[in-house]
Structures are given as structure tokens and as C-alpha cells.
Amino acid sequence: MSEIRRLLAAYDAYRAAGQACALATVVHVSGSAYRRPGARMLVTEDGQLTGAISGGCLEGDARRRARQAIVRRRPALVTYDSMDEEEDVEHGVSLGCQGVIQILLEPLDVDDPANPLEMLRVCAQQEQTAVLITAFSLTTNTEVQVGERLLLLRDATSHGTLSFEADTAAQLLEHAHQTLQSGRSATADYDTVAGTLRIFLEVIQPAVRVTVFGAGNDVQPLVRLAASLGWLVRVVDGRPGQATATRFPEAEEVCVVSFDQLSNLPPTQQFALLMTHNYHYDLAALRYLLPTATPYIGLLGPRKKADRLLAELEEEGLQPTQRLVPRLYSPVGLNIGAETAEEIALSIVAEMQAVLRGRAGGFLHQLDGPIHEQTPVLRSSLVPVANATVAASCSLS
């Protein structure tokens, strides 16, 4: 979401200045690549760039082609095959990634509320998961156009349209709901009588939200680091002189709340960190978090402190072993030998990132297999067969 917000800010500035723009989006990757499907780059008519679609090897050629798309006023799909050295030479790039990358280049119509960045704006404004459905490869005679898209939100509201026939639309919506449930983006191939449609089903998550209990000096580098990732941070502390916007300019919200008033605080839904260095405030914060659905609760300090807090909650009959321990990360952070406040912040934020992506947080050089999981490819044949059935399958490719 942080990339999307940066792209929107740049787009609004360029639009106000009268600059025409195009959006380059990675829509499919096979094999290895620096960026995954969903990576984006904004290109202006005079060649200015915001965002990235690779580690730097594709940007030059993609910028040239995006500017052509602006002039021609029509989208284009470009395939970069780093396994084909002759094609690398033809494009003037040298990837060395051993992968195939497809980039959708789209000129942005500022008057079209369904242009891709306006669709992303809707995502940024919503506090819910969404799937952005984009048609990007067509070998059909249908009315579907490259770049047509539909945004489906978790609450079942939608934006945009797709010119699909009924059977294709039904299968597509089923796949869209599957991706929403799994939280994983996918590519979908539909074989129809008219030809083949390839669709990118991109899951877009809302901004990461973090509530930090504590406003000491060691919290400041953590808030800065989290905010640099685009996370929205709320700082909560009972000391008016510590919990100030001046001390935490990167925080979305700074709240002065005494520990006996925490029950009045709106609940946190994603990440919570206890960094108060105050036993009684930590205890009150754990009581506050106990009935919530917050999946990650990080507690700064030694294990003995956590054991004492849990024992006291147990004595109160709050059943922390069942209700709290599965969500409690204590001591909080990855084991990177952190000593300073900045190093501890890095350790904690790295652990939260690992939890967010479902990773263990180990060394990449010890990983047995690829760094990134391959994007699932959903395949459906909608071509009538003798018994009038429809075949559908899901595989990784």
C-alpha cells in the first residue's frame, strides 16, 4: 500500500501540472525476477519515473515504451525473456534473472474514473482487502480489451466493468473470491470458443496498522522505520510530555491515555507493541488486548517479565494461556544481536514483516528453493465438450 500511496501522490502532482502519464505494471512472472506481479512504475510524457518494476534493468526500455503508449493512446503488453539472450539484446536490457516478465503499459486518461490509478485510489481509501482484476493478454475475438479491469472489495462492492460472457464472468468471480480468501494474487487463463483470455487477479491489502504502547526515546526510531514502510502507527502513552506529535512526527496518531483508561481506546486490529518500560502499564495493555482479535502482540523485555505478567493475568481468571500466549511475541524481535535503539527497532520491524508475510525470518542463503513463491495460475476451459461439462484446474507455473 505504501507504493500505491506514493504513486497516487506523484500522479496527482503530474496531473495538476498538465503532464500526461502512463502506468507500467508487472502482470506476470515466470521463473526468477527482482519484482513480483503487482510492482508498478509511473512514467510521465517527459520521462520522469516514480516507482520501480525491476532492480533497474527494465526501467530504461519500459520508460521508452511507456512514452510511446502515451503518444499512441493505447495500452501495450511487453514481454522480457531473460532466458533468451538474443531478446535481451533486442530490448537493450540484460536481466540475468532467468525469468520471463510481462509488463502492461497503459496511458492514463485523467477523465476516466476507472483508469488503473483511480482504481488503486479506491483501494487506498478502503480499510479492507480487495482484488483488482485486469485483462492483459487476449487472443480472442471478444469485446474484452487489454487493460479492462474490475475492482472487487471484500464487502462485495465493485468498481469498473469487464466485457465477459456469462460463463467466463461466473468462473472469473469464483476465482476472484478464491484469491480474496487465500490472500494470494494469481493469474487466470480462460480457454473459450473465441480464444484465450489471461487475467491478473491482484490481491491488495489495506495499510498495515501498528499500535505502540510507550513513548520513550527507543520508540522514536521504531516509528520512523515503520512509517518508512508505509505502515500507519499509533503511539499510546500516559505521559503528556512524552506522547506528543512533535516527538513522533511520523506517527499517524499520538494518544495520551493513562493505563486505567485504556478500555476507552479504539481497538487495534493488526500489530501491537508494548514498549512502555512500565510493568503496570504493560499489564493494563495486555488486559486491553486480551479480548481483541489482534494477531500479533510484541512485548519488549526479558522472558521473566512476560512470565510474571501472564501469571498475574492467570490469577485474575483471564485465561491468558489460551487467549493471549498464541499471539504473544516475547521477547519481541528477531535475534540479530541488537543493542542500540535503532538496532532493536530494526529487529522488531523485521519480525513483524516476517509475520506479515508468513516467513520464518532466517538467512536467505540457507533457503532450499526460490526466494519468492511462484504466482498460482488458475486454468479453466470454457470450450463446450461432448458432455457439456466445464473443466477447471489450478496449478503452479
One domain, residues 237 and 141: no
Measured CA to CA in angstroms, residue 369 lies from 54, 75, 82, 286 at distances of 21, 35, 19, 39
As a whole number of angstroms, the distance between CA 107 and CA 39 comes to 17
One domain, residues 21 and 135: no
pTM: 0.84
The pLDDT tens digits along the chain (397 residues) read 889 999 999 999 999 999 999 999 999 998 878 788 999 999 999 999 999 999 888 999 999 999 999 999 999 999 998 766 565 545 545 555 677 899 999 999 999 988 999 999 999 998 889 999 998 877 765 556 788 889 999 998 888 887 777 778 888 889 999 999 999 999 988 887 777 888 999 999 999 999 999 999 999 999 999 999 999 999 999 999 999 999 999 999 999 999 999 999 998 779 999 999 999 999 999 999 999 999 999 999 999 999 999 999 999 999 999 999 999 999 999 999 999 999 999 999 999 999 999 999 989 999 888 787 778 788 887 766 543 333 333 333 3
One domain, residues 305 and 249: yes
Task: Supply the pLDDT for residue 387.
Answer: 37
One domain, residues 213 and 318: yes
Residue at 385 is within a domain: yes
Task: Supply the pLDDT for residue 389.
Answer: 39
Of 125, 146, 164, the residue at which a domain comes to its end is 125
One domain, residues 165 and 274: no
One domain, residues 102 and 64: yes
As a whole number of angstroms, the distance between CA 178 and CA 184 comes to 9
Half-sphere exposure of 351 (CA within 13 A, CB side): 24
Contacts from 154-157 at CB under 8 Å and sequence distance 24+? 154/128, 154/129, 154/130, 154/180, 155/128
One domain, residues 92 and 16: yes
One domain, residues 346 and 256: yes
Short-list 149, 205, 200, CA closest to 375 = 200
One domain, residues 26 and 164: no
In three-state form (DSSP H/G/I as H, E/B as E, the rest C), the secondary structure along 115-161 is CHHHHHHHHHHCCCCEEEEEEEEEECCCCCCCCCEEEEECCCCEEEC
User: What does the radius of gyration of the chain's CA atoms come to, in whole angstroms?
Assistant: 24
Domain span holding position 240: 209-356
Residue at 261 is within a domain: yes
Task: Supply the pLDDT for residue 233.
Answer: 98
Split into its structural domains, the chain has a count of 3
